[in-house]
């Protein structure tokens, strides 16, 4: 199973997800890129020349998003920002154990870094 993201620039979007997930990009044809992580293909990117990025939280609707659970949100934040993410919303629930921050990929696809404040 793979999650497929549409993008007008499939090279930028696939490099982004490879950077986030610690993988590499395999160009299978002109319209498709597979992101490989430890032999698996968790994410792919499909060419959509007319792709309109979702606008979070209002505007063009998102079709799906990923929740990525991380142990060190500060390190994960630095990693995703270094490969081209945009921070859309900082953590909003400082009194709760579990929280999340919302980001967008280069093609505008929202995703969350989810974390626990009490994780070992």
Name the 3-class secondary structure at 20: helix
Q: Indicate if the pLDDT at residue 101 is higher than 80.
A: yes
Instruction: Confirm if 93 and 99 have CB atoms less than 8 A apart.
Output: yes
pTM of full prediction above 0.75: yes
Q: pLDDT (tens digit, 9 = 90+) per residue, 30-42?
A: 999 999 999 999 9
Q: Indicate if the pLDDT at residue 120 is higher than 70.
A: no
The tokens for 65 are 């998003």
In the chain the first and final C-alpha atoms are separated, in Å, by 31
Which one, of 107, 66, 61, 64, lies nearest residue 86 by Cα? Answer: 107
Instruction: Confirm if 115 and 100 have CB atoms less than 8 A apart.
Output: yes
């Amino acid at each position: 199973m793979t999650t497929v993201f549409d993008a007008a620039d499939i090279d930028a979007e696939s490099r982004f997800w490879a950077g986030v997930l610690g993988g590499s990009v395999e160009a299978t044809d002109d319209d498709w890129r597979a992101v490989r992580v430890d032999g698996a293909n968790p994410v792919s990117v499909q060419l959509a020349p007319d792709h309109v990025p979702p606008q979070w939280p209002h505007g063009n609707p998102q079709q799906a998003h990923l929740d990525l659970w991380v142990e060190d949100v500060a390190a994960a934040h630095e990693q995703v920002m270094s490969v081209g993410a945009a921070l859309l919303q900082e953590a909003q629930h400082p009194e709760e154990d579990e929280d999340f921050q919302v980001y967008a990929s280069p093609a505008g696809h929202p995703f969350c870094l989810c974390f626990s404040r009490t994780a070992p």
